[in-house]
Amino acid sequence: MSYNKNSSDIVEYNFFATYYPLFLVISGTLFNSLTFIILCRRKFRGTSKQLTLHYMRAIAIFDILMLYGRNFDHFLYYAYGFTLQTYSISFCKLFSFLNYFTPQVSAWLRIFICFDRYLSLSRIHKTWFAQSRNVLIIIICIVTIFTLINFHFFLFACYDNDDGTVNMEARLYEIYPLWNYINLVLYNCLPFIFMIAFYGNVIYHLIRFRHTNISQNLRRQYRSMSITLIIITFLFLIMTMPATICSGFFYASTSKFIRHLFDYILYTYHILSFLIYLITFREFRKEVILSITL
């Protein structure tokens, strides 16, 4: 009886481990694509939220790319017994790069959303950061910087072992777990510090608005957008940090089930933006309803 129960548990786990990553790829691609399309509609052009929306559109794109790295390899591993990262040298270099590049860009785009909200609430006059052209420059700089930081994967990582398999390490130095530590800092620790600092100020200014003469409509708009982004930031911190901490410090001592479970939680976060916007962002919800009913 005990054997049958354990066999049933294994079957259920294998089914979940195989098809949940595939579900994330399909639903994440759909939701993030819809998010990008809705945020590009005429309603959001030339509005006071336009600058923040540049970051939100970029995040939607990188959240799609994230799902086709390690997450998609989880599906391939359990369904077909191989991963793209170990399929060939070219795939190894590309997916090793994407597994770090995309989450780091996504995290730092979120930092600048926090920074943008802070500036919009705390500065009366527009700053250099409050111009559409300069926001696009910032996004390009973020992408460029993290491309350079992770470009060593293309130059040094991945080579053939004597038995014909692919080694994901570099010949000149050990990439893992070193790069997991660096990823923890770039993807979680620094974003955590900056997000908390900026959103602490955002919450302070939202409370101040309750005691000022600012119009009720403008106050509602600031509150709606800021609350949406605060929720997204909070979920980012609690859903992504366990996976990166586990990869950095406890990879060898934790089971594959725990490691993959943390990965699934991390990648689940990157499909939630559409649902969060739909629930908390009134203008976004209206545009979704309009696009369905027209």
- How do residues 72-127 score in pLDDT, each as one tens digit? 999 999 899 889 999 999 999 999 999 999 999 999 999 998 888 888 777 666 77
Tokens of 21: 């990553």
Residue 79, C-beta contacts closer than 8 angstroms, at least 6 positions apart: 18, 22
Say if residues 236 and 213 touch (Cβ distance below 8 Å).
no
Least Cα distance to 108 among 48, 10, 183, 220 occurs for 183
Give the model's pLDDT for residue 294.
67
Is the confidence at residue 202, as pLDDT, over 80?
no
For residue 191, whether the previous peptide bond is cis, meaning omega lies within 30 degrees of 0, is no
The answer to which of 5-14, 228-237, 279-288 has the lowest mean pLDDT is 5-14
Give the model's pLDDT for residue 259.
85
For 29, phi and psi rounded to 5 degrees?
-65, -45
Give the model's pLDDT for residue 4.
45
Q: 193 burial class (0-12, 13-18, 19+ CB within 10 angstroms)?
A: exposed
26 — pLDDT class (breaks 50, 70, 90): very high
Give the model's pLDDT for residue 33.
96
58 — pLDDT class (breaks 50, 70, 90): very high
Question: Model's pTM, two decimal places?
Answer: 0.87
The answer to which of 31-40, 206-215, 263-272, 273-282 has the lowest mean pLDDT is 206-215
Residue 267 exposure: Cα atoms within 13 Å on the Cβ side: 28
Mean pLDDT for 43-68 is: 84
List the domain range (segments joined by +) for residue 18. 4-293
- Would you tell me how many other CB atoms lie within 10 Å of the CB of residue 281? 24
Higher pLDDT, 59 or 237: 59
CATH number of the domain that residue 205 is part of: 1.20.1070.10
Least Cα distance to 91 among 29, 25, 166 occurs for 166
The answer to which of 38-52, 137-151, 199-213 has the lowest mean pLDDT is 199-213
Strand partners, 40: none
Higher pLDDT, 107 or 258: 107
Say if residues 64 and 32 touch (Cβ distance below 8 Å).
yes
The C-alpha atoms of residue 31 and residue 291 are separated, in whole angstroms, by 14
Torsion of CA 237, 242, 243, 246, to 10 degrees: 140
Overall domain count for the chain:
1
Give the model's pLDDT for residue 11.
63
Give the model's pLDDT for residue 248.
75
Helices 256-269, 2-39: crossing angle, 10 deg rounding: 20
Buried b (16+ CB within 10 A) or exposed e, 32-68: bebbbebbeeeebeeeebebbbbbbbbbbbbbbbbbb
